[in-house]
Amino acid sequence: MPAIDFPYLGFATSEGTILKWLVNVGDSVRKGDDLLEIVAEKAVAVVVAEEEGILQAIYAEPGAIVPEGETVGWIGTVGEPAPAHACRILGWEEEIAPPPPDLARRLAGTPTKMTPLPSDREPSGHEAPPPVRPIGRLGKAARSFLKGQIRKVTGLRMTKAWEAPKVDLFTDVDFSRVVAHRQQMKTRGLQPPSYNVYIAHAASRAFEVFPDLNVNYIDGNLVPVDGIHIGVAVALETSLVTISMKDVGGLSLEELQKRFRALIKKAAAMSLSRDELYGSSLTVTNLGEFEITGFTPILNPPEIFILGIGMLRERVESRDGEFTTVPYSTFCLSFDHRGVDGAPASRLLRQIKHNLERYE
């Protein structure tokens, strides 16, 4: 169809912002050409053309906040006029561009509407959503706006997460074997994976043991996650994003490390796609580097589990009649009680603990 619709992106948003049009009215476009850059939640993406033709109309200028599915432009053929259309604009991001005077008057007193509700609904009354792809290198203006957007969306998502009946489970994990393995790699002149990679690997193996726990809680329903996907929270200056490593079930530690490093680079460049931000089975969040001994993390909807990691410490224990120093960390598994009960959640945490303590 010739309409250019704002894509249905699912997960935690129902609207987004027009960042920049990449073609002008009157330009010829081919199927697959880049049409416009959009911002939704914590990611910038490019909407591409579904068919060839002439860009005959732009209904939403840069800075406009529009709902998913709204027609923002029109592609037609020579001599075919674009239909008149009043685009539904929910608000305006003046960091990108000031709104036209007539629109500014209409929007006066109307706060920007953001709806961070978990949703994987199908587009109703629409054909397949427009194809999108992650953007490459961000311009200065886009990067600046995205930083502010990340902070705003984080606040909204955390507020939504507060509605969940959250339960916190604590355990101490012996890191002796993990520390020994990392030291062996250093001795061989290799760069060992970070502790987060070991923990993510242990979590992925735990979901292989308990596949029934690999679910999200969406609109009051338990929805199976298609594959084992582990998220890791990453601090970027004043912002927080979670990278989502997809289909990690059965991966070796080395393969997981390569995937982790690649996503960290994309996070630093603020070029993560939405698929690389959302949809995890569990998120790992580690504050050990800040000398935090333990904490209760906030859930990342629609995920049911989040695993908080404290700093690595040492304590003296008696083993086989002898005293020895043991490196350990305090783990807190927080879970949404609407989606899982305490006993199965405890089994999952125990399995993660055993995977690390019995690391081969």
Q: What is the pLDDT of residues 144-164, one digit of tens each?
A: 666 666 666 667 677 777 788
Active-site residue identified among 85, 126, 181, 337: 337
End-to-end CA separation in angstroms for the chain: 55
Buried b (16+ CB within 10 A) or exposed e, 157-168: beebbeebebbe
Give the CA distances from residue 279 to residues 13, 69, 160, 270, 294, in Å, rounded to whole numbers and listed in that order: 13, 21, 16, 18, 25
Span 310-323, mean pLDDT?
91
Active site residue 337: yes
Q: Where are the beta strands (DSSP E) in 26-114?
A: 28-29, 34-40, 43-48, 53-58, 64-67, 71-76, 91-92
- Bridge partners, residue 239, by sequence: 236
Instruction: Specify the range with the lowest mean pLDDT, choosing from 139-148, 221-230, 242-251, 330-339.
Output: 139-148
- Predicted TM-score (pTM) of this structure: 0.72
Q: What is the pLDDT of residues 75-96, one digit of tens each?
A: 998 878 889 998 998 888 877 8
Closest CA to 211 of 225, 197, 221: 225
Q: What is the CATH number of domain 3-159?
A: 2.40.50.100
Do 164-357 and 3-159 fall under one CATH topology? no
Q: What is the pLDDT of residues 241-296, one digit of tens each?
A: 889 999 999 999 999 999 999 999 888 777 777 788 888 999 999 999 999 999 99
Each domain of the chain, given as residue ranges in start order, spans: 3-159, 164-357
DSSP code per residue over 102-130: HHHHHHTT-PPP-----B-PPPTT--SPP
Span 47-57, mean pLDDT?
91
Cis before 302 (ω within 30): yes
Mean pLDDT, the chain, whole residue set: 85
Supply the pLDDT for residue 42: 67
Span 335-341, mean pLDDT?
96
Q: Are 277 and 303 in contact (CB under 8 A)?
A: no
Domain at 164-357, CATH homologous superfamily: Chloramphenicol acetyltransferase-like domain (3.30.559.10)
- DSSP state, 327? E
Helix axes 195-209, 253-268, angle to 10 degrees: 120
Instruction: Specify the range with the lowest mean pLDDT, choosing from 123-132, 189-198, 208-217.
Output: 123-132
Q: Are 219 and 230 in contact (CB under 8 A)?
A: no
Instruction: Specify the range with the lowest mean pLDDT, choosing from 26-40, 131-145, 206-220.
Output: 131-145
